[in-house]
Amino acid sequence: MKLSKAMEKQDQGLMKQAGMTGRLDDHLYMYHMPYSYTAEQIRKLRTYLFHMPDKSVPRVIMITSALPGEGKSLIASNLAIAIAKGDDQYVLLVECDLRKPSLHNLFKYPPSKGVSEIIQGTARIEDCLIKTPIDKLTILPSAQEAPANPSELLESKKMSSLIKELSERYSDRFLIIDTSPIQATVDPKIIADQVEAIVMVARYRYTKESDFKMALEGLPKDKIVGTVLNALDELPARKYKYSKYNYHKYY
């Protein structure tokens, strides 16, 4: 009891130092419950990525999926923590979902400048990086304010250049890139060109085979290293912000 109180105090100290505004979200299993079943599955994913037959260890990894709400951000975040917990492995978690950012809710930081402002030329990379209480894990948020024209921004060559620049500048780190759903936007396809590996996410009893197959089209097949079946089926279907793409019907 005494020990956990002391650890909590230490955690709070680290969060304050890192600019966090509250307790990290409970869904960050790798942080709160590193010995849980879910955390064990995330470690398995890390091990798999590090020991793929006939492939070198990918350093720039994108997490994507066909539909909204399949668990991309959660898996990207937990994977980033799992890698950062390894010996000498530094990680930059990059949020490339400009329309529906969620990492600030998981890691509890205030709205902060990031990818959007950098590619618009109003912020510098080094000024946008957010420290986390997890040693060796840094976050590049998506945007302080959601841009009016995210697709145009992302379609622009600037997004590709940014991923390239991040990967060159932080060549000692893993880059874990959280993206928006493939069926809603073209963003993941643009980002896919700049990454070394793509991890797909599908949600149990939620992702239809046809949606999944459609999502695979247009992605470079040789970069897809695997699919995480996010075995979560109790969540209620949620309405999604990208209404103009009209894919509530998939629910």
Q: Which two tokens stand for residue 107?
A: 């890691």
Q: Is 71 in the site for ligand ATP (CB under 6 A)?
A: yes
Q: Cβ(202)–Cβ(66) under 8 Å?
A: yes
Q: Which does 211 bind (CB under 5 to 8 A by kind): ligand ATP, Mg ion, none?
A: none
| Three-state helix/strand/coil letters over 23-74 | CCCCCCHHHHCCCCHHHHHHHHHHHHHHCCCCCCCCCEEEEEECCCCCCHHH
Q: Is residue 91 helix, strand or coil?
A: strand
Q: Is 181 in the site for ligand ATP (CB under 6 A)?
A: yes
Please identify, using beta-carbon distances, which residue of 58 and 181 lies nearer to ligand ATP.
Answer: 181
Smallest distance, ligand ATP to C-beta of residue 27, A: 4
Neighbours of 178 (CB within 10 A): 26
Q: Which does 181 bind (CB under 5 to 8 A by kind): ligand ATP, Mg ion, none?
A: ligand ATP
β-pair type (173-178, 60-65): parallel
Smallest distance, ligand ATP to C-beta of residue 235, A: 5
Q: Is 207 in the site for ligand ATP (CB under 6 A)?
A: no
Beta carbons within 8 Å of 249's beta carbon, 6+ residues apart:
none
Which of 49, 74, 98, 163 touches ligand ATP by CB under 6 A? 74
Please identify, using beta-carbon distances, which residue of 102 and 160 lies nearer to Mg ion.
Answer: 102
Which among 25-33, 73-81, 162-170, 231-239 is the span making contact with Mg ion, rule CB under 5 A? 73-81
Distance (Å) of CA 196 to CA 22, 204, 250: 34, 26, 30
| Residues between 117 and 176 with contacts to ligand ATP, criterion CB under 6 A | none
Q: Is 102 in the site for ligand ATP (CB under 6 A)?
A: yes
Q: Which does 125 bind (CB under 5 to 8 A by kind): Mg ion, ligand ATP, none?
A: none
| Residues between 80 and 119 with contacts to Mg ion, criterion CB under 5 A | 102
Q: Is 211 in the site for ligand ATP (CB under 6 A)?
A: no
Q: Which does 80 bind (CB under 5 to 8 A by kind): ligand ATP, Mg ion, none?
A: none
Smallest distance, ligand ATP to C-beta of residue 38, A: 6
Q: How far is CA 232 from the centre of its chain?
A: 18
β-pair type (173-178, 137-140): unpaired
Half-sphere exposure (Cβ direction) of 241: Cα atoms closer than 13 Å = 11
Distance (Å) of CA 243 to CA 2, 156, 240: 50, 23, 6
Smallest distance, ligand ATP to C-beta of residue 29, A: 8
Which of 65, 73, 77, 132 touches Mg ion by CB under 5 A? 73
Residues near ligand ATP (CB under 6 A):
27, 65, 68-74, 97, 100, 102, 181, 230, 232, 235
Task: Give residues in contact with Mg ion (CB under 5 A).
Answer: 72-73, 102
